[in-house]
Every structure is written in C-alpha cells, then in structure tokens.
Amino acid sequence: MKRVVITGAGTINALGLSVPATLAAMRAGKCGIGPLEFRDVERLSIRIGAQVHGFESEARYNRQQIALYDRFTQFTLAAAREAIEQSGLTFSGDLADRTGVVLGTAGGGVSTWDDNYRAVYEEGKNRVHPFVVPKLMNNAAASHVSMEWKLRGPSFTVSTACASSNHAMAQAFAMVRSGMAPAMITGGSESMLCFGGVKAWEGLRVMSRDACRPFSANRSGMVQGEGAGIFVFEDYDHARARGAEILCEVAGFAMTSDASDIVMPSKAGAARAMQGALKDAGINREEVGYINAHGTGTAANDKTECAAVADVFGAHADQLMISSTKSMHGHVIGGTGAVELLACIMALRDGFVAPTIGYEEPDPECALDVVPNEARDASVDVALSNAFAFGGMNAVLALRRV
Amino acid sequence: MSIQDQVIAILAEQAMIEPQDVTFDSTLEDIGIDSMGVVESIFAIEETFDITVPFNANTPAESDFDISTVRSIVAGVERLKAEQG
C-alpha cells in the first residue's frame, strides 16, 4: 500500500478564483453569498446564492472551447490548471498512460440543459446547437481535463449528489494507494445557479432567503453555491523523489449508505462513515483536531451531524473544532467536498481553522466548538472532511499533516 | 367543493386514506404524513388554490403558516385566499 499525498490544489468558487484567494477569504471569514444575477431570477422566491463573479470565460477560453464547455467544465479546467501547475508534474510516457481523472458532479451541465430546454419549449425553436450533448454530459469536465493534459489512465465521473466529490476523491485515493496510478487528478465541480437549477431546489423548501447559518439556532436553511475544487493526489514516494511540495496526506476514507430515506439524513450512517475513515487511516479519534462539517444549515443535517460527531468522538467531541465553510462559499453540491478540502489543507498546513460565519445563537443540539464567526490559529494534526448526500450516501476523508 | 373539503381531499390523498377519516383535530402526523409528505401537500395546496404558502421545511413552527392541525391548515388557506381578494 502506498502513502498518498496532495501535491497540487486549485479552485474557482465565490470566495476566490484561486486557492490563495479562497484561503485568505476563509481566514477573514468573508461571505461569498449575495443576490443572484441571471435571467428570470425575478421568477424565483429564493434569490440569494454564492455565485462566482469575475470569472471571464471569454478571456480564458476561445469561441470553440466555449461552445463545448458548460460553466461546470470551465470552472474545472481553471481549477485543474492551478492544481497541476502547483504540483509541477508534466505528463508524458508511462506517467501520462497511468494517470487519470476522477471527478464529482451532481448535475453536470445544468445551465446547458436549462438554456436549451428554454430554446425548444419556451421560445419554440426546433433546433439546438450540435454540441448540446457533449457539453451537458456529467463526464464532460473529466474528459476535458484528460484531453487538456493528455492523461490516458482511468478517468470517470462520480455522481452522488452532495457527496459526489468526496466519493470521487475517495476513488482517486484508493487508486493511488493501491499502486494502480502514480497520480490522479480529482475533486469536483458544480454550476446549477441558473433559473431551472434554483427553481428545482426551491421546491424542497429547505432554502434560506437570507443567509446560511450552520449550527446556529436561528438557521433558516441552505444556500447554494457554485465552483470547483481540483487536486493532484500523488504517491508519496513519487512526490518525494521529485522534491514536490506536499500540502498534506490523504490518510484514509470510508463510504456508507443509510439505506433509509431519500432526503432525511441518518445519524448512524454519518457516524459509521466517520468511524470507518478513522479506522481505514489507522487514526485514533483523539488525534482529530478539526472536522470540516457537511453543515448545510438545515435543521435536519446540523442536528444529525452533531449527534453523530458526539457518538463517534465521545468526550473528545468537546475538544475538537468543527466548522461549516458553506456559510461562506455556499453549498457547492457535487463540488462541495472538494472546495471544503481546502479548509482542511489550511488547518493542517497553515494552522488556521476556517470559521462558521453567520453564527448568531447557540443551538443546544449543536453544542460543539463550531469556530463561530472568526478563524482561529491552531495546530491540527488530523482533519476529517464530511459529506452526507441526499439518497443517504456518505463519504468521509481523513487527512493528516505531513 | 369548499376550501375545507378540497384541503381534506388533498391531505387524504397524500395520506392514502378516505376523506371521512381526516378530522379537523387531526395532526398531519396522526394521519401518517411525514416531512416529505408535508412538502408535497403544500405544493398540492398551492397548485389547487393558486396561492403561495409561506412554509420553510427547516423551521415549520416559525413559518407564517400553521400546519399543526387540519383545522389550522384550512384556516391558513382561507386566509391566503381572502388576502388574494
């Protein structure tokens, strides 16, 4: 079994168009949530979200590329470039043949579906652009990364709603750990901040109209975000041999299924995933200093997640820090675990724990140290990143300082 | 059909029981409607009456629409229809 480390990270999200910008925003407790801006927003009852601003597609991609790249693919490619450049890897020969791309997304090209349904249903057109299918397919982003960097190893896309990118990163980790691949490009992306994407979420009636306040007694629901987080996972020996900068180690993971309800979370399923990740990594629960929570800001998630943490960690639950960065970058759905992994890297490598902002009132059912409102200096050796999806599919990653 | 009868019909259909088994004092839980069923019922009420029901599934108790009993739901729908004029 190989040790697996992260040697590159990239992101596009509402907090920043790079990892340094995002981490600086997390340290400062900035909020990326604001009024949504897109066509027909006035027909929505939910009009806030963590939208990416200042991402100039035309400056990044040419006309032919834009015809093929949905926004979720555009975010992915920009984040992948940052990650791969940081890693210093260049892909050719055997390395290119064995390195692949495993990414998560829940919806894929949602705005491409939306735009083209509008064209045929609302505008009555009988013809759509020839590339609608390759633009909207869920594996488009992974394919374009493999094409851009000529990565010819195992590549595919994982779709497990809000746990998609954690499931994807777990797959990439397992492939590097087993020796199947020397390196993998992994993470996830999502962009469903368009009329149809938000309208669908509105129907569930769990969306907040004002702010995302995870763990706060006056929470009012979740707020959607968008973006991508992309990482280079690499065999530790391979990374050491070439003198690469190591951001942190991926020590273990676990995946569980609640097998109970299509939307309501289960304490047992969440707890088994956290326990399993610790066991897989060979980590004692007392070593965990930080948990990046799933922390959606819904009553159902927050109470269940805190109860699961209390069950898994016992008395140590009161010693560790747990924060939800969704309060800042919104719920990036299938890309959320990837964006949130950045907060784990910041805790392990830089010694800064990202806060849960918007926190106003303690909730007795979430009586943990949620790092309210302000980032904290702390030395963290082990961090967990939780993702608990609709459908009861959970994936937790365990990360360690190197 | 009166508002009351229509609301009861919607709830009975959701609960998969006969309308005569839905009483004014029933809670949604009594008749077997869970949290997802509540969201579906509200949707059916909105579609039937062409109204917007202020209901947040995160904090049902704090919503400006009381779903604690069948009676309160009927009253809420009557109020929203009256406000619509």
User: Which chain A residues are closer than 8 Å to B35 by Cβ?
Assistant: 264
Nearest C-alpha neighbor of A250 from the set A390, A30, A402 = A402
Same domain for A169 and A141: yes
Same domain for A335 and A217: no
Is residue A37 within 8 Å of residue A54, measured between CB atoms? no
Same domain for A257 and A229: no
| Structural domain that includes position A78 | 4-241
Q: Which of A241, A261, A288 is the last residue of a domain?
A: A241
Is residue A323 within 8 Å of residue A302, measured between CB atoms? no
Q: How confident is the model at residue B84 (pLDDT cuts 50, 70, 90)?
A: confident
Give Cα separations from A113 to A62, A103, A133, A143, A195 (angstroms).
21, 20, 9, 19, 11
At residue A135, does pLDDT exceed 90?
A: yes
Domain count, chain A: 2
Half-sphere exposure (Cβ direction) of A103: Cα atoms closer than 13 Å? 33
The closest CB to that of A221, out of B43, B52, B58, belongs to B58
Structure tokens at A242: 């070439």
Is residue B30 within 8 Å of residue B68, measured between CB atoms? no
In the prediction, which pLDDT does B85 show?
A: 76
Nearest C-alpha neighbor of B41 from the set B7, B77, B64, B71 = B7
Judge whether A294 counts as a catalytic residue.
Answer: yes
**Average pLDDT for residues A294-299, to the nearest whole number?**
96
pTM metric for this prediction = 0.94
Percent of chain A predicted with pLDDT > 70: 100
Give Cα separations from B25 to A262, B70, B72 (angstroms).
30, 6, 9
The closest CB to that of A263, out of B36, B42, B55, belongs to B36
At residue A115, does pLDDT exceed 90?
A: yes
Is residue A27 within 8 Å of residue A326, measured between CB atoms? no
CA angle (A326 as vertex; A324, A327 as ends), nearest 5: 85
Is residue A320 within 8 Å of residue A289, measured between CB atoms? yes
Same domain for A124 and A209: yes
At residue B83, does pLDDT exceed 80?
A: yes
Same domain for A222 and A346: no
Which are the contacts of A207, defined by CB distance < 8 A and separation ≥ 6? Answer: A46, A198, A201, A221, A222, A223, A224
Q: What are B17-54's pLDDT values in tens digits?
A: 999 999 999 999 999 999 889 999 999 999 999 999 98
Q: How far is A51 from chain B (nearest CA, A)?
A: 23
Same domain for A77 and A171: yes
Q: How confident is the model at residue A245 (pLDDT cuts 50, 70, 90)?
A: very high
From first CA to last CA, the distance across chain A in angstroms is: 18
Same domain for A274 and A141: no
Least confident piece of the model among A9-18, A66-75, A261-270, B48-57:
B48-57
Rounded distance between C-alpha atoms, residue A272 and residue A163, angstroms:
15
Which are the contacts of A160, defined by CB distance < 8 A and separation ≥ 6? Answer: A104, A106, A167, A334, A389, A391, A393, A395
Q: How far is A46 from chain B (nearest CA, A)?
A: 12
Query: Do residue A299 and residue B58 have CB atoms under 8 angstroms apart?
Result: yes
Which residues between 13 and 52 in chain B have a beta carbon less than 8 angstroms from any beta carbon of chain A?
35-36, 39, 42-43, 52
Same domain for A278 and A165: no
At residue B60, does pLDDT exceed 80?
A: no
Is residue A131 within 8 Å of residue A68, measured between CB atoms? yes
Structural domain includes residue A28: yes
At residue B55, does pLDDT exceed 90?
A: no
Structural domain includes residue A16: yes
| Tokens 């303690």 belong to residue | A362
Query: Residue A378 belongs to a domain with what CATH number?
Result: 3.40.47.10
Torsion sign (Cα): A247, A187, A325, A320: negative
Nearest C-alpha neighbor of A41 from the set A194, A190, A225 = A194
Q: What are A136-160's pLDDT values in tens digits?
A: 999 999 999 999 999 999 999 999 9
Q: Which of A211, A241, A271 is the last residue of a domain?
A: A241
Helix (H, G, I), strand (E, B) or coil at A100: strand
The CATH classification of domain B3-84, taken from the options 2.40.10.10, 1.10.3720.10, 3.50.50.60, 1.10.1200.10 = 1.10.1200.10
Q: Which of A213, A241, A269 is the last residue of a domain?
A: A241
Same domain for A145 and A20: yes
Structural domain includes residue A235: yes
Query: Do residue A220 and residue B57 have CB atoms under 8 angstroms apart?
Result: no
At residue A76, does pLDDT exceed 80?
A: yes
Which are the contacts of A218, defined by CB distance < 8 A and separation ≥ 6? Answer: A360, A361
Percent of chain B predicted with pLDDT > 90: 80
Same domain for A295 and A222: no
Same domain for A221 and A93: yes
Which are the contacts of B32, defined by CB distance < 8 A and separation ≥ 6? Answer: B15, B16, B17
In the prediction, which pLDDT does B51 show?
A: 94
In the prediction, which pLDDT does A295 show?
A: 98
Distance of CA A118 to the CA centre of its chain: 29
Structure tokens at A226: 């968008």
At residue B59, does pLDDT exceed 90?
A: no
Structural domain includes residue A347: yes
List A290's β-bridge partners, or say none: A321, A383
Which amino acid appears at position A344 of this protein?
Answer: C
At residue B56, does pLDDT exceed 90?
A: no
In the prediction, which pLDDT does B62 show?
A: 75
Q: How confident is the model at residue A334 (pLDDT cuts 50, 70, 90)?
A: very high
Ranges of beta strands (E only) in A37-178 are 48-49, 100-104, 156-158
Structure tokens at A22: 């995002």
Rounded distance between C-alpha atoms, residue B80 and residue B48, angstroms:
13
**Average pLDDT for residues A261-276, to the nearest whole number?**
96
In the prediction, which pLDDT does B50 show?
A: 95
Put simply, whether B59 touches A (Cβ < 8 Å) is: yes
Most B-contacting residue of A46, A199, A205, A216 (CB-CB within 10 A), to test interface: A205
- Mean pLDDT of the residues in chain A: 97
At residue B75, does pLDDT exceed 90?
A: yes
Helix (H, G, I), strand (E, B) or coil at A103: strand
Phi, psi of A360 (to 5 degrees): -125, -40
Ranges of beta strands (E only) in A105-145 are none
Structural domain includes residue A247: no
List A4's β-bridge partners, or say none: A235, A250
Same domain for A69 and A205: yes
Query: Do residue B36 and residue A45 have CB atoms under 8 angstroms apart?
Result: no
Which are the contacts of A54, defined by CB distance < 8 A and separation ≥ 6? Answer: A17
Give the ipTM: 0.76
Which are the contacts of A121, defined by CB distance < 8 A and separation ≥ 6? Answer: none
Rounded distance between C-alpha atoms, residue A234 and residue A105, angstroms:
22
